[in-house]
Structure formats: structure tokens, C-alpha cells
Amino acid sequence: MRVLGVDPGLTRCGVGVVEGVAGRPLTMLGVGVVRTAADAELGQRLVTVEQGIERWLDEHRPEFVAVERVFSQHNVRTVMGTAQASAVAMLCAARRGIPVALHTPSEVKAAVTGSGRADKAQVGAMVTRLLRLDAPPKPADAADALALAICHIWRAPAVNRLQQAQAAHRQAQVSSRKVTR
């Protein structure tokens, strides 16, 4: 499974590609940051994020895109920029028919470190260890993007089984309604 992780941000949008399957060693295929100028007009910043993500999609051809789910922060302006960058990433993937998964920060931290309350240094250290890197990716947005990809690779099999079970249950309910009529 090849996953593009996206840590959305308007100034720095972390991107990282990881390949592998749950229970096996994972491989980092690329990591970086799409940057925009803080003084640029909002629309141009969003176009820059889009172009950057499109380049990553073209180069790495992921099967899935994992995006950090935007959560409420105290700074509404920061949340808006994060949400806008997140929407751009989801749009780029949807345009290509690539499934998108959203993971909360605590899900990602728990998957990678074992604690949903881990700090950025702990996440970076575990990403470095899990991907057998020489040093933690910099800036932290890049490490967070890799953590998102790792989280998705590890969680996807369980999520898929759950979705299949739910679909089977719904189908069984529909079938039993037809029988009783």
C-alpha cells in the first residue's frame, strides 16, 4: 500500500509518502513541505498548495491519501487556513479518484507512539525509528505527514474489516425485511 500523508497548513503543508503493509517494515519514498508566502493573497496560497500536492501525486502515484482531520483550536484564523489546505488536498485526491482517509491528531499519535498525547518530538523520534531514517524529518510538519501515512497503513486493514462487517449487517437487514414482507 502506498500512502501520501498530508499535514495541512497554509504556510507549511507537510507531505510524505510511505509504502508497506501492516506488520512489515515500512519504506519512506519521499518527504517534504509545500510552502506558501504568508504575505501572498489567500487564493494564490491555495493554488500553490494545490500545485504542490498535484506534483506529489504525479510523482508518487499513491493508492490512498491520508489527511489530518481538522480539529477546533483557539485561533480561528489558524483553523481556517488548516481547513482550507485540508480541503485542497482532499479535492486533489478526489479529482483523481484516490480514496481519502481523515485521521485525528490523537489517532495518529496513538498509532505511531502508543500515546494519543505524545508531543511532536516523540512523534518525530518514532517516525525516524519506524522508517529507519538517520534523523527526524524537518520541519515537524514533514514528520507529521509521514506519521499520517504510517497511521493509515496500520489502521486501514481494521477499518476495512469494520466497514465490510457494517455493509454485510446492513445487507442482512435489507434481506430480512424482504423475507418478512
* pLDDT tens-digit map of 61-105: 999 999 999 876 677 878 899 999 999 999 999 999 999 999 999
Instruction: Tell me the mean pLDDT in the region 161-178.
Output: 76
The arithmetic mean of pLDDT across residues 15-39, rounded, is: 97
d(CA 78, CA 49): 16
What value does the mean pLDDT of the chain take?
A: 92
Task: Determine the average pLDDT of the residues in 142-161.
Answer: 88
Q: Give the CATH number of domain 2-180; options: 3.30.420.10, 3.40.50.150, 3.90.180.10, 3.90.1150.10.
A: 3.30.420.10
Which pLDDT belongs to residue 160?
62
Q: Are 20 and 151 in contact (CB under 8 A)?
A: no
What is the model's pLDDT at position 180? 63
Spatial neighbors of 94 by CB under 8 A, at least 6 apart, are 100
For residue 135, the model assigns a pLDDT of 95
Cα torsion through 128, 129, 134, 140, rounded to 10 = 10
Q: Which of 147, 88, 79 is nearest to 113 (CA)?
A: 147
d(CA 141, CA 63): 21
pLDDT confidence of 37, banded at 50, 70, 90?
Answer: very high
Which cell numbers in the block locate residue 148? Answer: 499520517
Q: Active-site positions?
A: 7, 68, 141
